Amino acid sequence: MFTVRVPATSANLGPGFDTLGLALDLYLTVEVKKANCDITVYYKENGEQSVNINPTDNLIIMAIEKVFTKAGQTISPLTLMVDNKIPISRGLGSSAAAIVAGIFAGNELIGRKYSTKQLMQWAVDLEGHADNIVPAIVGGFTTAMIYENEIYYQKLLTSHDFKAIVVVPDISLPTKQSRAVLPEKVALQDTVYNLQRACFLLASLYNGDIRHLNLAMDDMIYQPLRKQFIPGFDEVFKSAYDNGALGVAMSGAGPSIIAFVNDNIENIGLAMQEAFLNNSLTSKIYHLRPNETGVSIY
Ligand code: HSE
């Protein structure tokens, strides 16, 4: 038996659409046991075990199966015990975490045949974007690029002790729906706007210089189009900044909103929650830190 633990991730971080990502200390944990005849998946709910009826629809199983197939093998009977603390369809990389858990569990089950680079490639093939997958695997702040179908990434060294608040509204926003409103082409002006900020943001994170995160985390490409799905989006940003947040962005494809904070932390979270509530949306507040390790197996 072994356990795979994968962190939640926040992609884009404002200007870095499909590029930047951050691993956070909120986890999907999967205990994997070899079994005699069936594949069974249990999900823990409120501390209790409950059986998930259809393992064929399960992303973790699909990812395990992908590794077996690549190795020319058939998936073996298994029992999975899943404890998922990452909210689903909320822009915190829950599907990336499930895919990474399955890919790494599959590799473990077949005797660690494949390199991390190879496993990352398969995980990105299943997920479709690298910006959640890369930090879920390597941890920390990451920037990823794809060239001829191959993934290249850098993990940022940062000296600053970043703290994040993520406010997760009680509505789900599937990534597919959130991507459907984005245009094929983007104006040069907006591209330059985001490029300037993405580069500035990376340098700020690297230097631990938090002075202009509010400017550097702005975006002209996707947030203005996606915020129609998130009631109170502008008010939540305003309440975070009014209460001293350093930088604020839609987390991944939304609807969650991530704010980097230094002090007045409790109040910033509550003010953001209240802004959602003023728009008839309840939400949960998470106080998180970067996760530096990425996927771990023990
Ligand atoms: N970069 C992606 C998006 C994150 O914003 O659609 C979700 O995978």
Judge if 137 and 179 occupy the same domain: no
Task: Report whether pLDDT(154) > 90.
Answer: yes
pLDDT digits (tens, 9 = 90+) for 26-40: 999 999 999 998 999
Judge if 273 and 148 occupy the same domain: no
pLDDT for position 161: 87
pLDDT for position 52: 73
pLDDT for position 157: 87
Which ligand 1 atom sits closest to the C-alpha of 222? 5
CATH number, residue 231:
3.30.70.890
Percent of all residues in the chain with a pLDDT value above 90, rounded to a whole number: 91
CB 143 within 8 A of CB 154: yes
Judge if 280 and 251 occupy the same domain: yes
Of the chain, the end-to-end C-alpha distance in Å amounts to 9
Q: Which structural domain, as residue segments, surrounds residue 40?
A: 2-157+291-297
Which ligand 1 atom sits closest to the C-alpha of 253? 5
| pLDDT mean over 153-181 | 93
Q: Cα(114)–Cα(116) distance, rounded to whole angstroms?
A: 7
Judge if 6 and 133 occupy the same domain: yes
Judge if 105 and 201 occupy the same domain: no
Model confidence at 142, in pLDDT bands (50, 70, 90)?
very high
Measured CA to CA in angstroms, residue 108 lies from 33, 148, 157, 160, 174 at distances of: 11, 28, 29, 34, 30
What is the count of structural domains for the chain?
Answer: 2
Distance 18 CA to ligand 1 centre (A): 6
Judge if 52 and 132 occupy the same domain: yes
Task: Report whether pLDDT(162) > 80.
Answer: yes
Q: Cα(81)–Cα(178) distance, rounded to whole angstroms?
A: 30
Judge if 26 and 81 occupy the same domain: yes
Atom 5 (ligand 1) nearest CA:
253
Which ligand 1 atom sits closest to the C-alpha of 95? 8
Judge if 117 and 226 occupy the same domain: no
Pocket residues: Cβ below 6 A from ligand 1: 11-12, 17-18, 129, 131-132, 175, 178-179, 252-253
Which ligand 1 atom sits closest to the C-alpha of 17? 1
CB 170 within 8 A of CB 231: no
| pLDDT mean over 206-221 | 95
Alpha helices by DSSP H, the chain = 59-70, 94-109, 116-127, 130-138, 175-180, 188-207, 213-216, 223-226, 233-242, 265-277
pLDDT for position 51: 75
pLDDT digits (tens, 9 = 90+) for 114-140: 999 999 999 999 999 999 999 999 999
Task: Report whether pLDDT(54) > 90.
Answer: no
Distance 19 CA to ligand 1 centre (A): 9
Judge if 111 and 175 occupy the same domain: no
| pLDDT mean over 261-289 | 97
pLDDT digits (tens, 9 = 90+) for 226-270: 999 999 999 999 999 999 999 999 999 999 999 999 999 999 999
pLDDT for position 48: 73
Judge if 145 and 167 occupy the same domain: no
Task: Report whether pLDDT(160) > 90.
Answer: no
Task: Report whether pLDDT(209) > 80.
Answer: yes
Nearest residue to 293 (alpha-carbon basis) of 95, 7, 4, 20? 7
